[in-house]
Structure 1
Amino acid sequence: MKTFIDSMLALMCYQVSSSKKKTIETESIAIKDFISFILEKYPVVTDSILIRNITFLIQTYDNSFNDEERLLLKQAFKLISDRLREKDAIRVISYEKYNGVVLDWTSPKQSKKILHAIEYPVPSTDFLGANVIEFAYKNTRQQFINDSKNSIVKINLLNTEVAVENEEPLVYMPRHATPAPAGIVF
């Protein structure tokens, strides 16, 4: 009877410990802040730092990244390769225009593979019409590593400040002033 009670107690303790909520840290940044984010968030690694399991969600709005975006992303991922360890894992998923996994779980030390995926993004076609962000969270929970830092970093390519084109600037004119002839600027 004592063995049965001990077994039940051990089973209950196991269930409680295994049913702890899996915490996934989430960050959302603009592409212009990506390099400074990496410098701040991912210090040069030591053995005392927990294993990192990072999913990068990159917003897409065209067939591929423009030259500036590509350059920033490649520099940022080179920096990640220098700052993370072989036992860490990263994944790149695109969303919005093109939905899908651009780079499946890989070591950040495989910089050539990562840079190739950024240079020539070819998302998998399995996600047409799917909610890729939801997939990213679900998959990160499935790949969850206990006693590690599991995170999702959403990189926004579109600037939040949208320039208004073809709109005349507002000019203050005193009430009784005569407007200047067209083409003359004071």
Structure 2
Amino acid sequence: MGTEIRRCSWCGNDPLYIKYHDEEWGKPVRDDHILFEFLILEGAQAGLSWITILRRREGYRQAFAGFDVKKVAAFNADDVGRLMNDQKIIRNRLKINSAISNAKLFIGIQKEFGSFADYIWGFMPGKEPLGNKVRTMADLPARTEISDAISKDMKKRGFKFFGTTICYAYMQATGMVNDHIEGCIAK
């Protein structure tokens, strides 16, 4: 009788979801390029399931210049038109425009703080990830005081599609919090 592999139930048995769960979710990210990628992806996810975005991730990578923040910040009306016709991404004008606007704001934060990572991780106690004790998926919060504070500050700076719930999902995706259930192989 073999040992059963235990994972967080949210990833189900979809191979793409399992790979994301095992290799990325909850792992600390301090690289601005990856932090920008997740900013675009989490904003696109608003109102949709994460697997919907994960399945389109490569399409987003192609459509948004390999997640090069400077290139995305320079997108113009022609680029918006191109993106609105790109079936490999979610074709929502508000989300597309916010991704471009957020790229410009992201660069502003980099200039102000030295890096986006220094800014975002500055909200964390000791600039370190929080390892939450999660026994069941029901224990996962949708938001926290930290996600409230980050979201509020980013909204004040002009960011769109980054409310506290999206912010908390971003924190999970980039390993600012580790919400893997107890006994999970990725914990």
Alignment TM-score, normalising by the size of structure 2: 0.26
Instruction: Name which structure has the greater RCO, CA cutoff 8 Å, separation 6+.
Output: 2
Query: Greater share of helix residues, 1 or 2?
Result: 2
Query: Greater share of strand residues, 1 or 2?
Result: 1
Q: Flag the structure with larger Rg.
A: 1
Alignment TM-score, normalising by the size of structure 1: 0.26
